[in-house]
Each structure stands twice: as structure tokens, then as C-alpha cells.
């Protein structure tokens, strides 16, 4: 049986039969209440809940059916009638309803939290046995809470060996890093500057709160970002992932540290860029997007905030949470997502769209770099959407004819006529605007960037928002166990959503 938060298995006697035989069985249930209650009792017994138990710096998973919670509750009521502990009641009809399942999980979690925090009940032998607190293996062999495998065991040992290069250790965890500064914030967490304690390497670590992700139903986007990052690790203009791992309440992306500042930061300061500089950045962006397209990935969120400069002035594309994987050839998708200023017309029309949405975004960013604002910008979002859909593109003559031509091609409202609609990146890179770009040298970073951020070293934070840098580093991000309690326990929900999140590089790639 798979180790999930709640496991409901189809009854063997009801599976693999014809529709008519199942109808007969349902009719039998109507005629025979005893048969119905017997089957439903069996369904109850197949609901299994995963419980995370922490004891000091040790932790482990155990698996309990509802009836086991119920049996413990009955004993506690008799022994401690004054405790008034409550357990979610039994329910037959609607038992498989998702809302009921969520309510029951929450109720069980509340029940078990009260068990371990009650000074008397927490010391009861029945409770300690239920949580396997006195199992000597649990005292000596902590389970890695970052990953789990299918298992029915209560005392699972997870060795998960990882080769981290010259100084080999058995796992990657938050306490391996010294968290130095906050350098960014997002919807689900923060980005922190961190140093690996043993290797001394500097990283940017994105720390995300699982609870916030689940509340907004964004787990799929986070896993998509992790998947895309794994494919990016060798491309010169895409941020590289070194590790991903998780604790009970947080996800960690250990990423390349890039400290030349956001393109957005530089645009705000300088208002617009000379055409030569805009062309250089657009070429590197185009190379990155073309690479993603070759992997059947649509980026969908190209904007100055997601484009970083490295210490030499080359661009680094980051934030892959809106990427769509598996779009082959002229394949389409239809999810409405992106950033308002850069949405393509077909996205606003809620029509199926393809990889050409990324070329629209490239056109919008190129326009902004040369003119100072996105092409159809308005403070009124509704008016801006109307402009994107219907307003003709107007180009001032302070840029070259080739620049105006590529903007007209990329910002074509009909995707079937847009530059890149036929041959994707090959079509874009062949435009006259890029005639002086040596693409091989560009991808090898042999072309000299037109601007140098002039950072003094890895810890130079002058291109980061001072508001972030002044923030204190949360103490919890560096703890491998997300609790200060001596003993705690919770009915888990998050891990099944993030199964497979953890990643470490092959030995030859470690700290390369």
C-alpha cells in the first residue's frame, strides 16, 4: 500500500468486474443493509494517516488507521475524563468526500497535538506506544523527513546517501548552510544569501513555506519549477540548481548566486538602455528561451524582475514557477497566467497558445529596454488589456529601422504572423537586428557585456534592495527540524504533494 497521507484502496471484490455485475452488487446493498455496512466498515479500515513525530532532534513517520486513533481516544477518555479531548466522529455517508477527508485530517492533527502537549497524557504508556516514543531505534536512528518511500513500517530508516564532492556527507539539510542575508522576497517565502559551511561556496537559497503553497494550491507550479531547474543546470543564461530539499514545513532551492542586480533595478535607475545594450540582453534572453523551447518548455513569465545580471554583466533568467512543460512542436496550452504588462493577446482572449507567447514577451521587454515602459502600458489594468488587444503598436524613430522591424515582428497581435511562429528561435536569431551577434561566442560568454555591475566580491550587495538586506535572517531557516518542542507530532499533508522534490547533483557535478 502506497505511503500517502490518506490511502483509500479499491476493494478487491469490487474491482475488475463488469458494469452490470457492479450494478447487481449495488442492488444487493440496497436489499441487504448488513452487506452495505460490512463493506463500508472495510473502507474505513483502509484509510491510513501518516503521522510525523519529533522527539528533540530525532524524527520519524508512523502510519495509523482511524480506528487506531479511535481506540486510543476511548482509553484516554476513561483514564483522563477531565481532559475533554475530542476526536472527529465516524461517518459513513460522504466518507470519501474531499471536504470530509480534510476536516478529519485537521481534527486528527488537533487531537494528536493536544496529546503530546498535555503534561500528564503525554507520559501515558498507551500514548507513548502509539507514537513509538520508547522505541530504541527511534532514539538512535532519526528518519530523514525530507523524503519518504512507500512503506508500512513505523520505524523507517532513511539513509539517502549523497556524494557532495571532496567532503562526503550522508544528506543535505538546512544546518549545512550559514544563512547570511535576506536578498529577496516572494509570495511563498524568501531568498537568502548563504554559505555552505564545509565547502565555503556562496549560494542563493530560496526558502518556501509549504503551508502557503498549499493554501494557494500552487504545489504543481513549485514542482514544475524544480523540474525545469534540473534541465537548466548547464545553460549559461539560466540559473542553475545545485540542490533541492525539504523539511517538514519548508522547501529549499539552492541556486546560483547572482549579484549584479535585477534588470528591473537597472531600468528603474537608468530609465532606458542604449540600443546596443538592449540588443545584447535580448540576444542572451533569446538564447535562454530558445533552449527552453528545445526542451518543450514554455517560459511564460519573461519580465525585467525575472532577469538578473551576474557579476560580469551577463543575464541570468530565473523564476520558473509559471513554466509549462511537455509542449512539443506546435502544441498549445490554455492556462491564464503571466504578468499583466507582458501578456500576449491570445492569453488575454483565453485562447489556446503556444511557444510564441515567449516571443511576444521578449518583444515587450525589448521595447521596455529601449523606450522605458512596456509597449501598451497603462496604470489602469483594464485599459492596458484593451491596449494589448486592440491598440496599434507605435514606435518612435529614435531607434534603428532593424530595431523597429523586430519589435513589429515580435509584438504582432496575431500569433500566426508573429516572428518565431515558423522556426522558433532560429527565425528570431536570424533577424537583421541581431546581424552583428556571433551566437557561438555569445553562448560561450565570450562577447563582452556592454555594462559591468562593478561588484567588489560575492558579498557585495549594493545591487539588492536595501529593504530586504536590512531584514533579520529568520532563525528557523537554518534548522533541520522545524520545531523547538521536545516532543511534537502532526498528521501530515504536505509531503505527498512534494514527493520527488529533493535533488542533489551527480558526484561529478557537485560544487562545479
pLDDT in tens, 23-73: 444 444 444 445 444 444 444 444 567 677 766 556 666 677 788 888 888
Angle value at C-alpha 356, between 450 and 307, nearest 5 degrees: 35
Q: Which pLDDT does position 251 carry in this prediction? A: 87
Active-site residue 301, yes or no? Answer: yes
Percent of the chain topping pLDDT 90: 41
Out of 19-23, 105-109, 224-228, 362-366, the most confident range is 362-366
Cell of 121: 497524557
Residue of higher predicted confidence among 315 and 121 = 315
68-78 burial, b at 16+ Cβ within 10 Å, e below that, comes to ebeebbeebee
| Contact indicator for 347, 333 with CB cutoff of 8 Å | no
Annotated binding-site residue? 215: yes
Beta pairing partners, 162: 169
Mean pLDDT of the chain: 78
Tell me what the mean pLDDT of segment 369-387 comes to: 95
H/E stretch holding 53 reads: strand 48-55
Average pLDDT, integer, range 104-117? 79
pLDDT score at 480: 64
* Cβ neighbours of 456 (radius 10 Å): 8
For residue 48, the SS3 value is strand
Grid-cell match 531607434, residue found: 399
* Identity of the highest mean pLDDT range in 92-106, 123-137, 326-340: 326-340
Q: Point out the catalytic residue in the list 301, 310, 319, 354.
A: 301
The mean pLDDT value for 281-290 works out to 98
The whole-number pLDDT of residue 9 equals 25
**pLDDT 10s digits, 119-156:** 888 888 888 888 776 665 554 433 333 333 332 332 33
Q: Residue 408, Cβ neighbours under 10 Å: how many?
A: 13
Q: Domains of the chain by range and CATH?
A: 44-138 (3.30.1520.10), 174-258+466-498 (3.30.200.20), 266-444 (1.10.510.10)
Q: For residue 115, what pLDDT is reported?
A: 79
**Residue among 211, 436, 226, 254 nearest 320 (CA):** 226
Q: Measured between alpha carbons, how far is 375 from 341 in angstroms, rounded to an integer?
A: 8
Amino acid at each position: 500500500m502506497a505511503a500517502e497521507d490518506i490511502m483509500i484502496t479499491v476493494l478487491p471484490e469490487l474491482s475488475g468486474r463488469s458494469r452490470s455485475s457492479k450494478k447487481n452488487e449495488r442492488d444487493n446493498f440496497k436489499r441487504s443493509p448488513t452487506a452495505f455496512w460490512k463493506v463500508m466498515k472495510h473502507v474505513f479500515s483502509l484509510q491510513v494517516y501518516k503521522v510525523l513525530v519529533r522527539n528533540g532532534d530525532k524524527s520519524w513517520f508512523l502510519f495509523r488507521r482511524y480506528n487506531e486513533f479511535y481506540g486510543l481516544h476511548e482509553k484516554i477518555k476513561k483514564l483522563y475524563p477531565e481532559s475533554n479531548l475530542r476526536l472527529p466522529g465516524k461517518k459513513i455517508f460522504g466518507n470519501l468526500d474531499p471536504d470530509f477527508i480534510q476536516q478529519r485530517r485537521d481534527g486528527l492533527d488537533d487531537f494528536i497535538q493536544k496529546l503530546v502537549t498535555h503534561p500528564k497524557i503525554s507520559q501515558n504508556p498507551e500514548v507513548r506506544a502509539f507514537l513509538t516514543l520508547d522505541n530504541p531505534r527511534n532514539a538512535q536512528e532519526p528518519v530523514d523527513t525530507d523524503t519518504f518511500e512507500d512503506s508500512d513500517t513505523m520505524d523507517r530508516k532513511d539513509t539517502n546517501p549523497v556524494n557532495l564532492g571532496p567532503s562526503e556527507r550522508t544528506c543535505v539539510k538546512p544546518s549545512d548552510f550559514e544563512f547570511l542575508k535576506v536578498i529577496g522576497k516572494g509570495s511563498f517565502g524568501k531568498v537568502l544569501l548563504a554559505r555552505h559551511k564545509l565547502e565555503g561556496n556562496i549560494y542563493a537559497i530560496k526558502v518556501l513555506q509549504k503551508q502557503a503553497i498549499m493554501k494557494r494550491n500552487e504545489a504543481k507550479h513549485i514542482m514544475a519549477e524544480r523540474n525545469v531547474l534540473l534541465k537548466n543546470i548547464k545553460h549559461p543564461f539560466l540559473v542553475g540548481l545545485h540542490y533541492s530539499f525539504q523539511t517538514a514545513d519548508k522547501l529549499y532551492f539552492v541556486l546560483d548566486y547572482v549579484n549584479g542586480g535585477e534588470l528591473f533595478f537597472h531600468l528603474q535607475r537608468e530609465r532606458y538602455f542604449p540600443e546596443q545594450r538592449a540588443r545584447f540582453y535580448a540576444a542572451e534572453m533569446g538564447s535562454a528561451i530558445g533552449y527552453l523551447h528545445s526542451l518543450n518548455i514554455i517560459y511564460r513569465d519573461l519580465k525585467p524582475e525575472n532577469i538578473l545580471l551576474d557579476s560580469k554583466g551577463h543575464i541570468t533568467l530565473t523564476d520558473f514557477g509559471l513554466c509549462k512543460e511537455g509542449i512539443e512542436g506546435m502544441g498549445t496550452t490554455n492556462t491564464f497566467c503571466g504578468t499583466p504588462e507582458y501578456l500576449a493577446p491570445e492569453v488575454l482572449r483565453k485562447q489556446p497558445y503556444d511557444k510564441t507567447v515567449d516571443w511576444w514577451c521578449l518583444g515587450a521587454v525589448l521595447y521596455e529596454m529601449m523606450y522605458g515602459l512596456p509597449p501598451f502600458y497603462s496604470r489602469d489594468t483594464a485599459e492596458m488589456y484593451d491596449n494589448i488587444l486592440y491598440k496599434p503598436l507605435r514606435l518612435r524613430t529614435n531607434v534603428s529601422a532593424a530595431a523597429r522591424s523586430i519589435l513589429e515582428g515580435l509584438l504582432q497581435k496575431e500569433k500566426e504572423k508573429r516572428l518565431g511562429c515558423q522556426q522558433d528561435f532560429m527565425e528570431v536569431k536570424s533577424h537583421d537586428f541581431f546581424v552583428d551577434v556571433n551566437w557561438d561566442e555569445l553562448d560561450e560568454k565570450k562577447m563582452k557585456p556592454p555594462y559591468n555591475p562593478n561588484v567588489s566580491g560575492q558579498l557585495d550587495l549594493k545591487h539588492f534592495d536595501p529593504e530586504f538586506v536590512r531584514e533579520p535572517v529568520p532563525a528557523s531557516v537554518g534548522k533541520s527540524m522545524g520545531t523547538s518542542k521536545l516532543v511534537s507530532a502532526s498528521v501530515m499533508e504536505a509531503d505527498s504533494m512534494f514527493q520527488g522534490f529533493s535533488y542533489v547533483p551527480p558526484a561529478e557535478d557537485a560544487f562545479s
